[in-house]
Amino acid sequence: MSEKKIMLGNEAIARGAWEAGVKVSSAYPGTPSTEISENIVKYCPDLYCEWAPNEKVAMEVAIGASMAGVRSLVSMKHVGVNVASDPLYTVSYIGVSGGLVMVAADDPGMYSSQNEQDSRMVARAAMVPVLEPSDSSEAKEFVKIAYELSEKYDTPIMLRTTTRLAHSQGIVNLEDRKEVPDKVYERDIAKRVMMPGNAIKRHLFVEKRLKDMANDAASFEINRVEYNDKKIGVITSGIPYQYVKEALPTASVLKLGLVHPLPRKLIEEFAKNVETLYIVEELEPVIEEQVKSWGIKCIGKEIFTVQGEYSANMVAKAILGKGTEFDAPAQAPARPPILCPGCPHRATFSLLKRLKIHAAGDIGCYTLGAVAPLSVIDTTVCMGSSISTLHGMEKAKGKDYIKNWVAVIGDSTFLHTGVNSLMNMVYNQSTATVMILDNSTTGMTGHQDHAATGKTLMGQSVKPILLDELCKGMGIKNVVVVDAYDQERLEKVVKEEIAKDELSVIIAQAPCALLKSYVPKGKCITLSDKCKKCGMCLVPGCPAITKKADGTVAIDDTMCNGCGLCMQRCKFGAIERVSK
Amino acid sequence: METKNIMIVGVGGQGTLLTSRVLGGIITAAGYDVKLSEVHGMAQRGGSVVTFVRYGDKVYEPIVEEGKADVLIAFERLEALRYAHFLKKDGVLIVNDQRIDPMTVVTGVATYPENIIEDLSKKYNVIKVNAMDEAKKLGNTRVFNTIIVGVAAKHMDFKKEQWLEIIEKTVPQKTIDINKAAFEVGYNL
């Protein structure tokens, strides 16, 4: 087969896993890694794939599959690596039976993340080798190489990507799947049971493994020297390689495919052969600090930032001192992301705003409840943190302090790690009110199923976990399910539950308006003769409503889903719902 | 061939990704090297979104940088203004004459600029299209992006038949006819 196809980086990773003979894949959705699983499912039934409730679980599933002797894949965004780091650090000691590859997708520039951490640092700490592809074609190839290396060196491998790689498309050469025979399982307690006596020995193995790999790495084809004019030499990897090639077509380049452990001999030789050595890497100076520690003179973060994405122009300016000339950008009002028209979170948040309630927030579309005009969310740390941070506030200041607070968390995030936090509230006698904003999907990442939706990644219908029953099962007495659009009832319930000196869970339900199964209720129209120009309908901040020059409002009929939130807000009957 | 740089900008949810899929398809079919870069995730929720498309003999960088775009396709006026400086001196700006107020304008923090298209026309080669009105005439507002593709097609290196073939391959089966009709409308504007 020699077919060529244009593929997203993540699509190419999925293809590479299939070609490498992977049999099990587990993941929790997270931008920019989600499309790996969304594409890998196309290769069923050659492999099994699933959405796990969180990255730690996904990692452990992949470890189990590897122990059972098959090649397995686990993919996650960079902050997911933190969640999965507990098993990661230890599976590094255990090693693999079938190859084990973990995709860690970093997000320089934070297009869709709460921080800008560099997963290579985690891999170094966990003593796990890292491969870094620089386009879709390499993404596919590197996955296959990763499995070879994983099995050869008895180690899990991290394939590190960034948003730009994950969400760029490029030409990929399609090849066939190579079935890999399952490794025969042999009981090996000393290797697989990590208690002190065994782990001490495995740690020695891990140190030696990294040294061996570093020695061998000089001859790895994925570490490539491209000699050209030797005045400028650049060590780079991943997407920055493309910027370097674009900006400095005549420079010599050492392109690293393996970024941990580093091929020291190769780097020393390259450094000797070039006049000035630069290191171009996005985020942290991971390569640079090691190279400098060997006494090699090079320039890196002295002229490059540790923040955001790079570009060819940035590389040209930093190294050559000149870049492209262009017009100054126009002054254009900012357009930050917002909740969609018909989004049920807007219904909940506009009520909380009216009641002057603060929300401890969480990770998902609903984090946008922190943005004006809603500005309801006060705090957001990480997945599941809304519930536990609110608990901390109560324990710090007492139950009266949180009488105008709730925790808000999505259904998928609740199952990810929120459920643990809620257990803590039950156990340690919280009196807080937790609102699960149940829109029946993992919204922000593009609508993935989870344990409470009743569908698996492979499309199987299963018995959904019932969130209300789950909460009741923990012994919570006050569990109320409300339609998020029934504003009158929601208001009553929120007031009642907050007033109680007991733990309450309110499940505010209404499906995401972007779900394929969503049926619009119609569309809302304005009756300008009844409009008193009070602007109440504008308060929830729906993007479909705009104020006209005369002060009355207009509703964009292509955007409106007829959710009726504005209609409920209008006291003068100036908004009506009609069929779409 | 020197690398050609195309940008598609708009508001999250407008369907810019479908347009880039069509572009990617036609460029690949023509045998060029190509890179496309998209925005997924949070920014898609009503935010300002950009897609970069680069093609030629060999493409390295997957993004189009300021001052380098040959063609800028803007699905919305304010987004045309925001990204106009990405155009080369003789670049073409195709702008859909639609206004979507960002929340900063709705809440009164900012004002939606007047006369965007007129002002941009003084500096750039601007082609204005009212794709939403044209789509309404076709009886389906969702194909307005295909109308814009039709307009853009005239400023690129491929034949009309090739475009129609790719549209047929890219859009959902039951919308092929309406999308082809929409392309024709844009192409003949």
A324 with B67: Cβ contact below 8 A: yes
Whether residue B51 is predicted with pLDDT greater than 70 in this model: the reply is yes
- Chain A's closest residue to B106, CA to CA, is A546
B34 with A171: Cβ contact below 8 A: yes
Q: How far is A264 from chain B (nearest CA, A)?
A: 27
Whether residue A1 is predicted with pLDDT greater than 70 in this model: the reply is no
Taking the C-alpha atoms of residue A476 and residue A550, their distance in angstroms, rounded to an integer, is: 52
What is the mean pLDDT of the segment spanning B155-184?
93
Whether residue A235 is predicted with pLDDT greater than 70 in this model: the reply is yes
Considering only CB atoms, B43 lies closest to which of A6, A111, A169, namely A111
Name which of A300-304, A412-416, A555-559, B84-88 the model is least confident about: A555-559
**Residue B45's pLDDT band (boundaries 50, 70, 90)?**
confident
Residues of A in contact with B113 (CB under 8 A): 331-333
Q: Is residue A443 within 8 Å of A423, Cβ to Cβ?
A: no
Mean pLDDT, chain A, rounded, equals 96
Whether residue B85 is predicted with pLDDT greater than 60 in this model: the reply is yes
Looking at residue A442, its pLDDT comes to: 94
**Residue B155's pLDDT band (boundaries 50, 70, 90)?**
confident
Q: Which helix (H) or strand (E) holds B13?
A: none
Interface test with B, best of A77, A112, A169 (most B CBs within 10 A): A169
Q: CB count, 10 Å around CB of A567? A: 18
Looking at residue A411, its pLDDT comes to: 98
Considering only CB atoms, B110 lies closest to which of A8, A333, A446, namely A333
What is the mean pLDDT of the segment spanning A456-469?
98
A6 with B34: Cβ contact below 8 A: yes
Q: What is the ipTM of this complex?
A: 0.93
Looking at residue A73, its pLDDT comes to: 98
A480 or A324, which is more confident: A480
Percentage of residues of chain A with pLDDT beyond 70: 100
Looking at residue A281, its pLDDT comes to: 98
Residue B29 has phi, psi (to 5 degrees) of -60, -30
Looking at residue B175, its pLDDT comes to: 94
**Residue B39's pLDDT band (boundaries 50, 70, 90)?**
confident
Mean pLDDT, chain B, rounded, equals 92
Residues of A in contact with B81 (CB under 8 A): 330, 332
Instruction: Classify residue A482 as exposed, middle or buried by CB count within 10 Å of its CB (0-12, 13-18, 19+).
Output: buried
A446 Cβ contact list (under 8 Å, min separation 6) = A29, A34, A38, B40, B41
A311 with B141: Cβ contact below 8 A: no
Q: Which pair of structure tokens corresponds to residue B110?
A: 């900012």
Residues 147-176 of B with CB under 8 A from A: none
**Residue B43's pLDDT band (boundaries 50, 70, 90)?**
low
Q: Is residue A484 within 8 Å of A508, Cβ to Cβ?
A: yes
Looking at residue B42, its pLDDT comes to: 65
Looking at residue A165, its pLDDT comes to: 98
Q: How far is A337 from chain B (nearest CA, A)?
A: 4
- Chain A's closest residue to B25, CA to CA, is A6
A325 with B13: Cβ contact below 8 A: no
What is the mean pLDDT of the segment spanning B22-26?
92
Whether residue A559 is predicted with pLDDT greater than 90 in this model: the reply is no
Considering only CB atoms, A242 lies closest to which of B60, B85, B101, namely B60
Record the pTM. Answer: 0.96
Residues of A in contact with B45 (CB under 8 A): 337-340, 365, 368, 444
What is the mean pLDDT of the segment spanning A78-105?
98
Taking the C-alpha atoms of residue A328 and residue A272, their distance in angstroms, rounded to an integer, is: 41
Looking at residue A292, its pLDDT comes to: 98
Whether residue B62 is predicted with pLDDT greater than 90 in this model: the reply is yes
Considering only CB atoms, A167 lies closest to which of B33, B39, B61, namely B39
Looking at residue B41, its pLDDT comes to: 66
Question: CB contact, 8 Å: B85 with chain A?
Answer: yes
Percentage of residues of chain B with pLDDT beyond 70: 98
A332 with B81: Cβ contact below 8 A: yes
